Amino acid sequence: MPLKISDFRSPWWMFNGHLQTQLPVLLRRIKLTSRSISIPTQDCDQLSGNLYSAAAEPQQSLLIISHGLEGSNQQPYVLGMAQTALQQGVAGKLVDVLTWNLRGCGNPDNPSARLYYAGATQDFDDVITWAGEQGYKEIYLAAYSLGGNIVLKWLGDQGTAVYSRGIKSVCAASVPIDLAACVRTLDKWSNLIYRIYFVTSMKWRLKRKALKHPDKISLSGYSRVNSFYSYDDVFSAPLNGYGNATELHAKASAVHVLEKIAVPCLMVSAQNDPFINEDCIPRVVSENHRWLTLEVTASGGHVGFLSHDYEWWLDKRFLEFFKETG
């Protein structure tokens, strides 16, 4: 699809991508009633999630929302999208909404020693399998940040097989589709605050897992980890079957399989996103892609997108795309 240059604008006083990334997290507070669920995985683990219902009886359509790095299914952007979809429907239909937690995120924690990483496509496949077993006929996907890479990589790997899985339409925002490029960006000195915050959080999450499963996770090299690259090199890569961080980034990046996506898909990226760079904005691929629509905004930050008229623009844009394509 031709590249779409968006007319989205942030509030004038949110004058850079850092403010546009951080303030929406603080400004949005949502509480929804849900049912806690457990999703079995192929390796006999359990993923936790929450199911939200638009009506007393189950619907045939389901929206699945995937969160980002070091988040959970309780992130404001996740709950905001869930609330909007429940209130307005998706593609003219009432939907149920599933928000799921990557391994090691949210509550309750998954029982096994496994932790999430950017290429955890089998986990997402297990989520889709669960949805089919519950009787959902039409599935819509909304994904953010690292969760977006997982979903887009899964879509590309599936190709036309997604038709039999019930996938109707997909929206993703602020996606680090080129993991190596994203890690280089996040490890820059200009992003030192993000690096300290996220790497510290990832290390504590790993340490908690190691204390529960000392036979499965070694903390050797723990003190050497002080960057995204070193975390992936010392821990994520070997724990998930890769030789090193370079191999993980190359094989787990969605950018290499975007051309194989076979359902309507919207990608939204802000040019001032402090987490990603131009390598994560697939302009050339989208130009000749039958199914992929790339929308680039001048502002918005990373999964921020609070508009100048104080609307949560991503929710609205995703529902527009679902209506156009679903």
Give bridge partners of residue 295 from the DSSP assignment.
4, 268
Distances (CA, A) of 189 to 19, 141, 194, 200: 18, 34, 10, 16
pLDDT for res 5: 82
Task: Chunk the chain into consecutive blocks of 10 residues (it has 326) and report each block's average pLDDT, rounded to whole numbers.
Answer: 86 96 94 96 98 91 98 98 97 97 96 97 98 97 98 98 96 98 96 97 97 96 97 98 98 98 98 96 94 97 97 97 93
- DSSP H helices, 14-74, are 17-27
pLDDT for res 56: 83
Distance CA 47, CA 311 (A): 32
Which tokens belong to 137? 């006929």
Q: In what order do the strands lie in the sheet with 138-144?
A: 4-5, 292-297, 265-270, 167-173, 138-144, 61-66, 96-100, 46-52, 35-40
pLDDT for res 302: 98
pLDDT for res 151: 98
Distance CA 319, CA 326 (A): 10
pLDDT for res 325: 93
Residue 29 burial (CB count, 10 A)? 8
- DSSP H helices, 117-236, are 121-133, 145-158, 179-186, 192-212, 228-231
pLDDT for res 153: 98
Q: For residue 96, with 0-12 CB atoms within 10 Å meaning exposed, 13-18 middle and 19 or more buried, which class applies?
A: buried
Cβ-based neighbours of 277, under 8 Å, separated by 6 or more: 181, 182, 184, 185
End-to-end CA distance of the chain: 17
Distance CA 277, CA 123 (A): 27
pLDDT for res 16: 97
